[in-house]
């Protein structure tokens, strides 16, 4: 692995910072926190207008020619300031999947529109009875001439409230082993028979249940072959677990803690940092943070070489999200009773970010593959251990 590959990103940081300073409104962070919707429409329009969404794409599909390093640095900077672009993250995973497995017609239909900021795509994999075992999906798609009729329910269809499409995993053949009878569809959210209900999670994030009652889509909305959905899902999942951002992995939380610990006084007049146990915990967090950053850089390095990061994406996701849980738990221990003050409470340290971070960390090890599933992937594919399931 050659870290020099990333020097070019460092040279974009100043310009990225200037772009964010000039365009981002600080109240957007608060809006995302209050609404639980981790995507801001105005910001998305600006990112599209300035070609940042379209930075890393071929011109024939709407690529803007903007330097991909600059675009990545902008997203890093947004993450650092606490602004998420979750709707765009899922959309870009699906766009990369379309790039890999879509027909030329599909590439021309979906890629330019999404890169112009006119399409957002949510992931419709999980169901009430299938999350980790996603291949057990019960939502069905039945062919009717040139159309498919979709019936079923999806759980945790995050950011669907802003999306133009849901990327739906559906069963197209119930009479074969479960992995072999699935297909993927891009379902417009303005389709007749589509419905959505909000779900508010412990971490404050809003996600959704989405419902499909005789929803009709044309065959051109099918991505990949009939019954070839499992292979398509695999491409999409690899992109999900490799969507790592070295600049936004909670680094600022530990920095905030260190800043607080330097000045906060205990009743005996000493600072929190004078306590060697607190200092040791903060030091360990900083080490975890660096490991997380390096694992993320490895993903980027592989992606830059044109590889599809596989098991590396799982390693990053597992380490980053479990470290976030350890950190937020340690932080609450160090803070004591003040640590549980929520963002709206008077006197909450760091404006309540620690309490909020603790709740958010709980769900981190669930979405995008649970820790148990990721460990199995690493055991099988990295260490060659026998399959457990
Ligand atoms: C905030 C949030 C956002 C989400 N966003 C989306 C989204 O946008 N689109 C989408 O499709 N899904 C989304 N999900 C769903 C997420 O992918 C699933 O919750 C996840 O895959 C786990 O599935 P499950 O909830 O059904 O739990 P289960 O699969 O029922 O797992 C329950 C427990 O059993 C363990 N377990 C299950 N199988 C095994 C096994 N074989 N070996 C060892 N342990 C096992 C799990 O690790 C877990 O601890 C989201 C979830 C959350 C919480």
pLDDT in tens, 97-109: 999 999 999 999 9
Q: Return the higher-pLDDT residue of 303 and 362.
A: 362
Who contacts 3 (Cβ-Cβ below 8 Å, separation ≥6)? 297, 301
**Among protein residues, the one whose CA lies closest to atom 29 of ligand 1:** 132
Q: How confident is the model at residue 389 (pLDDT cuts 50, 70, 90)?
A: low
* Cβ–Cβ < 8 Å for 172, 226: yes
Choose the residue to mutate in 159, 236, 367 for probing ligand 1, maximizing ligand atoms within 8 Å of C-beta: 367
Radius of gyration (C-alpha) of the chain in whole angstroms: 22
Distance 309 CA to ligand 1 centre (A): 21
Which pLDDT value is given to residue 3? Answer: 59
Distance 383 CA to ligand 1 centre (A): 23
Please list the active-site residues: 240
CA distance linking residue 262 with residue 274, whole number of Å: 8
User: Can you point out the beta strands (E) in 219-292?
Assistant: 222-223
Whether the pLDDT of residue 253 is over 90: the answer is no
* Range of weakest confidence among 118-122, 164-168, 274-278, 346-350: 346-350
Which ligand 1 atom is the nearest neighbour of the CA of 205?
Answer: 1
Q: What is the pLDDT of residues 19-37, one digit of tens each?
A: 999 999 999 999 999 999 9
- In the chain, where does the domain assigned CATH 1.20.140.10 lie? 242-382
Average pLDDT rounded to a whole number, residues 15-20 = 96
Which pLDDT value is given to residue 1? Answer: 60
CB-defined site of ligand 1, < 6 Å: 122-126, 131-132, 156-158, 201, 205, 207, 363, 366-367, 370, 372-373, 389
**Among protein residues, the one whose CA lies closest to atom 38 of ligand 1:** 132
Strand 182-188 with 140-144, pairing? unpaired
Distance 132 CA to ligand 1 centre (A): 5
Tokens read off for 317: 């996701």
Angle (nearest 5°) at CA 105 between 104 and 109 = 120
Angle (nearest 5°) at CA 58 between 50 and 55 = 30
Which pLDDT value is given to residue 242? Answer: 53
Who contacts 11 (Cβ-Cβ below 8 Å, separation ≥6)? 69
Who contacts 234 (Cβ-Cβ below 8 Å, separation ≥6)? none
Please report where in the chains the tokens 């090890």 appear, as a residue.
365
Tokens read off for 29: 């962070």
* Range of weakest confidence among 55-64, 121-130, 257-266: 257-266
Who contacts 294 (Cβ-Cβ below 8 Å, separation ≥6)? none
Q: How confident is the model at residue 347 (pLDDT cuts 50, 70, 90)?
A: confident
Q: Return the higher-pLDDT residue of 162 and 343.
A: 162
**Among protein residues, the one whose CA lies closest to atom 24 of ligand 1:** 131
Cα dihedral 317, 54, 94, 368, rounded to 10, equals 20
Distance 134 CA to ligand 1 centre (A): 9
Which ligand 1 atom is the nearest neighbour of the CA of 90?
Answer: 8
Distance 369 CA to ligand 1 centre (A): 6
Candidates 150, 155, 152, 164; CA nearest to 122 is: 164
Average pLDDT rounded to a whole number, residues 334-354 = 86
Which pLDDT value is given to residue 243? Answer: 56
Which ligand 1 atom is the nearest neighbour of the CA of 371?
Answer: 47
Q: What is the pLDDT of residues 236-249, one digit of tens each?
A: 776 665 555 544 44
Strand 165-171 with 121-124, pairing? parallel
Average pLDDT rounded to a whole number, residues 202-224 = 96
Q: Return the higher-pLDDT residue of 310 and 171.
A: 171
Strand partners for 208: 198
Distance 149 CA to ligand 1 centre (A): 26
Cα separations in angstroms, 286 against 155, 186, 215, 254, 346: 35, 41, 49, 7, 28
pTM above 0.85, yes or no: yes
CATH class name, domain 122-229 = mainly beta
Domain 242-382: homologous superfamily in CATH: Butyryl-CoA Dehydrogenase, subunit A, domain 3 (1.20.140.10)
Which ligand 1 atom is the nearest neighbour of the CA of 132?
Answer: 29
Choose the residue to mutate in 88, 89, 120, 126 for probing ligand 1, maximizing ligand atoms within 8 Å of C-beta: 126
- In the chain, where does the domain assigned CATH 2.40.110.10 lie? 122-229
**Among protein residues, the one whose CA lies closest to atom 35 of ligand 1:** 372
Which pLDDT value is given to residue 154? Answer: 98
Which pLDDT value is given to residue 282? Answer: 94
State residue 298 phi and psi, 5-degree precision.
-65, -40
């Amino acid at each position: 692995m050659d870290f020099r590959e990333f020097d070019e990103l460092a040279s974009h940081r100043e310009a990225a910072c200037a772009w964010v300073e000039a365009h981002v409104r600080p109240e957007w962070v608060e809006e995302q926190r209050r609404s639980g919707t981790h995507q801001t429409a105005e910001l998305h329009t600006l990112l599209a207008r300035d070609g940042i969404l379209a930075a890393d794409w071929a011109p024939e599909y709407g690529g803007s020619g903007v330097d991909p390093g600059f675009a990545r640095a902008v997203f890093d900077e947004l993450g650092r300031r606490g602004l998420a672009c979750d709707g765009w993250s899922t959309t870009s995973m699906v766009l990369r999947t379309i790039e890999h497995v879509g027909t030329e017609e599909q590439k021309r239909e979906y890629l330019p529109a999404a890169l112009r900021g006119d399409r957002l795509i949510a992931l419709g994999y999980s169901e009430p009875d299938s999350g980790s075992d996603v291949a057990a999906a019960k939502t069905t798609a039945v062919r009717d001439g040139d159309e498919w009729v979709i019936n079923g329910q999806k759980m945790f269809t995050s950011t669907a409230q802003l999306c133009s499409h849901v990327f739906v995993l559906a069963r197209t053949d119930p009479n074969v082993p479960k992995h072999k009878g699935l297909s993927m569809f891009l379902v417009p959210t303005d389709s007749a028979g589509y419905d959505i209900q909000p779900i508010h999670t412990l971490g404050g994030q809003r996600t959704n249940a989405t419902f499909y009652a005789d929803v009709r889509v044309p065959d051109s909305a099918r991505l990949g072959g009939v019954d070839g959905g499992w292979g398509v899902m695999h491409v999409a999942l690899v992109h999900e677990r490799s969507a790592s951002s070295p600049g936004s992995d909670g680094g600022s939380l530990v920095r905030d803690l260190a800043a607080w610990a330097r000045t906060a006084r205990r009743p005996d007049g000493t600072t929190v940092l004078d306590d060697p146990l607190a200092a040791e915990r903060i030091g360990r967090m900083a080490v975890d943070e660096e490991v997380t950053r390096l694992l993320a850089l490895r993903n980027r390095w592989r992606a830059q070489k044109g590889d599809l990061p596989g098991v590396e994406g799982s390693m990053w996701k597992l380490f980053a999200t479990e470290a976030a849980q350890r950190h937020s738990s340690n932080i609450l221990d160090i803070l004591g009773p003040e640590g549980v003050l929520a963002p709206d409470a008077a006197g909450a340290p760091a404006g309540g970010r620690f309490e909020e971070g603790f709740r958010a960390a709980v769900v981190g090890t669930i979405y995008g593959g649970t820790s148990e599933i990721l460990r199995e992937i690493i055991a099988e594919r990295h260490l060659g251990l026998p399959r457990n399931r």
